[in-house]
């Protein structure tokens, strides 16, 4: 998982590439969207505004075709992350949902307003202990990607 302190850090590091520019376009459009409705930009990104308490997840969620990018507008939340190969598969991968569910321990991180996280595909994540959370969740295709800090 990549954790960035601010949106400005995200813009600085991921300024190249159409899909990263579309992330910024989506974030800049937040005042025009309603919570919990998915919107899309092109064929490489869907996003939604999420507000309120998080359902604590027992299982880790992993993806293969899309990265999860979360930008925290308000509140705080705990995310637990683990390498998929260190977890036990619980529900097999579905190509229709691009999700698989796994069980095991991970490393917890506290996230706060202003943070941007990128959930990488070799890892799985689960969110819990949210308080007054308001964030935008972006699902970004893995195609034509690279991470400058890796």
Evaluate if residue 13 carries a pLDDT over 50: yes
With left for phi above 0 and alpha for psi between -120 and 50, is residue 50 left, alpha or beta? beta
H or E segment at 147?
none
Give the model's pLDDT for residue 68.
93
Tokens 């991180």 belong to 109
Please state, for a pLDDT cut of 70, what percent of the chain lies above it.
Answer: 93
| HSE value, Cβ hemisphere, 13 Å, CA-based, for 86 | 11
pLDDT tens-digit readout, 50-63: 987 767 678 999 99
pLDDT tens-digit readout, 60-104: 999 999 999 999 999 999 999 999 999 999 999 999 999 999 999
| HSE value, Cβ hemisphere, 13 Å, CA-based, for 67 | 22
Across the chain, the runs of DSSP E, i.e. the strands, are 2-4, 39-41, 45-51, 60-62, 66-83, 88-94, 99-103, 107-112, 116-119, 123-141
The per-residue b/e assignment along 125-144, b for 16 or more CB within 10 angstroms, e otherwise, is: bbbeebeebbbbebbbbeee
Strands 99-103 and 2-4 turn out to be unpaired
């Amino acid at each position: 998982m990549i954790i960035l302190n601010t949106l400005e850090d995200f813009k600085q590091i991921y300024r190249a590439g159409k899909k990263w520019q579309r992330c910024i376009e989506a974030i800049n459009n937040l005042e025009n969207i309603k919570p919990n409705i998915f919107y899309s930009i092109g064929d490489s990104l869907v996003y939604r505004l999420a507000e309120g308490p998080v359902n604590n997840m027992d299982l880790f969620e992993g993806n293969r075709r899309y990265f999860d990018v979360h930008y925290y507008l308000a509140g705080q939340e705990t995310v637990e992350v683990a390498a998929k190969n260190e977890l036990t598969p619980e529900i097999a991968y579905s190509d229709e949902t691009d999700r698989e569910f796994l069980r095991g321990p991970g490393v917890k991180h506290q996230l706060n307003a202003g943070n941007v996280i990128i959930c990488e595909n070799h890892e799985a994540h689960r969110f819990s202990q949210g308080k007054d959370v308001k964030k935008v969740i972006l699902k970004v295709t893995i195609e034509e990607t690279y991470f400058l800090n890796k």
